[in-house]
Chain A
């Protein structure tokens, strides 16, 4: 049986594997003394960049009114069916506002489709990643938890204006 000539035959030293093993050991040994990257969470908190997709929130204008007109596109596009919107009529010029806007954070998958589809720039992804619940009901966020003043979201809105076509 003819032995197959391989693309690269190993030399005797390579076949022993000992140099390679030693190389690996040296590498890990060096790593042991390098500075650590661990962030000690509750004390040190991760400050995400503007591109980060935390929990979706509703933009509240300076006059205290939400931008949302309850068009329901976020609700339609949501692949996890996390968003429920009930529209109602308002005397304001925008005619329509969300009487109820609920995001079920147990369903939400943080894909950001809602933000992408929103024609009013009214729902954006925040930097908030701390989402802890004790029961199913408290995981459903209503308007009280979703409305965030526009100043706090400026970072993300600028990011969107720059990159969202």
Chain B
């Protein structure tokens, strides 16, 4: 492998790599705005200028190919002078409105102004005024004054989102970004430009001014919007999810996620329709009840039926752990009736990220051997072969309103649900299930990649400190008397835990205390997940053996 020398350090590189990439691999940070590892090289911000020996002038590290024997200085006085000059130039027309800018705290310009700039402006003239609060697309606001014209967003929509919608107009210091005439910046991936924008020029309508970034905690998790399972971070303040951002995972989603996943997969968690505590139907009305009584009533009611009169509905929205414990529970009471439903939105698929299958764990169900022949269940109920139904995190009525007809034929409906929906209306007993943001667990995406989710929001049974959840500064020092600590905590438990509790009224063989124990049990009994545990899966997940993958 060829070598170059950066700041006196011998660095190996692959041929074809640029200086900035070689430096990055060696852990040397060269400041950059327009360079992005997944986008084409543009070289217009000039802040990555470095001194290369035997070159007459400074060169930009992002587009200079590394060659054998090259000697690069990223901290020489010449480099620093050039960098400071570039920073000063960029800042000439930048409004310095960090106090009102949402990017503050995660802004590259802010960081570099702090770390590399000369700290004072010599510019005494009046700054350029440009358009502010431009609605570029349905989900994005653009502030032209803050823009430093790095063109990352333009290159992203051309190269990654494959939608030529943005362009520069005007020249010199008047340059600004706009959509092509008649176009709206509305491709399904627009919000990624907010993430890659090195300044606060592009802001997310949904998150705008909701919170400063340093007030939130972030938790690594997985998006539940489709079977891609994009890696995400959940940003939480006051026990409320405020935004989701993609997390880099080259095997799954690279740096990106779709707008639908980003905006529509977290709001139900803090929605008013959340089920808070257990409910029992008494005299035709659903009445709030406590856990002990509900479990007692549930077990008694279930015991009134023969085992093949009871059917179970597993869920591709629930984790492997939930479905596994449900399956075990069904076996314990000798019922073979376990079904699951498919959620396919035909046609809503592209070759970037979005998948037709709108559930995060349908592959996981296949691994566990749970069939997705829900229509069979329909017939069983219709013929009165099944009299009691145990539904876990599935909305049958929402799937198809036909179900309303057969659900009324049942004598007992037990529902584990996160939110009130069409199915919970018919339920005799409702258990509050924890959402994906409130529990540990694993999903398997369509590629067969096993990925972990972690609790980002505390429920009544979770404590941020004791359960090792990520904490913001507010969480760390808050007390129960502080108004900013009074975010709603729901009385909900993970589905596997509810079923395990219920099992203690039957055979009491599912003595699981933690999701990790459940997973270890799965990996013991399941060929596909052999030798896996939570530590091995880690933050980025593990793809299961391709032979097993083919079999499934």
Which A residues are closer than 8 A to B by beta carbons?
Answer: 69-73, 75-76, 81, 84, 87-89, 94-96, 102, 104, 106-107, 119-120, 136, 140
The distance from the CB of A62 to the nearest CB of chain B, in whole angstroms, is: 21
Contact A120 B209 (CB under 8 A): no
Apart from A72-B212, A81-B482, A120-B99, 6 more pairs, CB < 8 Å: A69-B100, A70-B209, A87-B209, A95-B133, A96-B99, A102-B483
Contact B209 A89 (CB under 8 A): yes
Q: Which one of B100, B133, B211, B473 has the highest number of Cβ atoms from chain A below 10 Å of its Cβ?
A: B100
Q: A71-B99, A119-B99, A136-B481 are in contact. Are A81 and B215 (CB under 8 A)?
A: no
Q: A69-B99, A76-B214 are in contact. Are A84 and B209 (CB under 8 A)?
A: no
Counting contact residues on chain B (CB < 8 A from A), the size range is: 20 to 34
The distance from the CB of A116 to the nearest CB of chain B, in whole angstroms, is: 14
Determine the distance from Cα of A104 to Cα of B211 in the docked complex, in whole angstroms: 19
Determine the distance from Cα of A79 to Cα of B146 in the docked complex, in whole angstroms: 31
14 A-B pairs within 8 Å (CB atoms) are namely A69-B100, A70-B100, A71-B99, A76-B212, A76-B214, A76-B215, A81-B474, A84-B482, A95-B132, A104-B482, A104-B483, A106-B481, A119-B98, A140-B483
Which A residues are in CB contact (< 8 Å) with B132?
A: 95
The distance from the CB of B139 to the nearest CB of chain A, in whole angstroms, is: 15
Which B residues are in CB contact (< 8 Å) with A76?
A: 212, 214-215
In the complex, whether B127 has a CB less than 8 A from a CB of chain A is no
Determine the distance from Cα of A107 to Cα of B132 in the docked complex, in whole angstroms: 38
Which B residues are in CB contact (< 8 Å) with A75?
A: 212, 215
In-complex Cβ contact of B209 among A96, A104, A106, A107 (8 A): A96
For window 92-116 of B, CB contacts with A under 8 Å fall at: 98-100, 104
Which A residues are in CB contact (< 8 Å) with B215?
A: 72, 75-76
Determine the distance from Cα of A87 to Cα of B211 in the docked complex, in whole angstroms: 7
Which B residues are in CB contact (< 8 Å) with A96?
A: 99-100, 209
Q: Which one of A75, A88, A106 has the highest number of Cβ atoms from chain B below 10 Å of its Cβ?
A: A75
The distance from the CB of A133 to the nearest CB of chain B, in whole angstroms, is: 13
The distance from the CB of B182 to the nearest CB of chain A, in whole angstroms, is: 28
The distance from the CB of A43 to the nearest CB of chain B, in whole angstroms, is: 35
Which B residues are in CB contact (< 8 Å) with A95?
A: 100, 132-133
Q: Which one of B133, B214, B482 has the highest number of Cβ atoms from chain A below 10 Å of its Cβ?
A: B482
Contact with A along B205-233 (1 / 0, CB 8 A): 00011111011000000000000000000
Which A residues are in CB contact (< 8 Å) with B104?
A: 71
Contact B209 A81 (CB under 8 A): no
Which B residues are in CB contact (< 8 Å) with A89?
A: 208-209
Which A residues are in CB contact (< 8 Å) with B305?
A: none
For window 438-489 of B, CB contacts with A under 8 Å fall at: 473-474, 477-478, 481-484
Q: Which 7 A-B pairs have the closest CB atoms?
A: A71-B99, A96-B100, A72-B212, A87-B209, A69-B100, A84-B484, A119-B99
Determine the distance from Cα of A94 to Cα of B95 in the docked complex, in whole angstroms: 12
Determine the distance from Cα of A71 to Cα of B478 in the docked complex, in whole angstroms: 21
Determine the distance from Cα of A70 to Cα of B209 in the docked complex, in whole angstroms: 9
For window 110-162 of B, CB contacts with A under 8 Å fall at: 132-133
Contact with A along B483-502 (1 / 0, CB 8 A): 11000000000000000000
Which A residues are in CB contact (< 8 Å) with B477?
A: 81
Determine the distance from Cα of A84 to Cα of B484 in the docked complex, in whole angstroms: 7
The distance from the CB of A20 to the nearest CB of chain B, in whole angstroms, is: 53
Contact A81 B99 (CB under 8 A): no
Determine the distance from Cα of A119 to Cα of B98 in the docked complex, in whole angstroms: 9
Which B residues are in CB contact (< 8 Å) with A106?
A: 481
Determine the distance from Cα of A33 to Cα of B376 in the docked complex, in whole angstroms: 104
Closest to A91 in B: B133
Determine the distance from Cα of A73 to Cα of B214 in the docked complex, in whole angstroms: 10
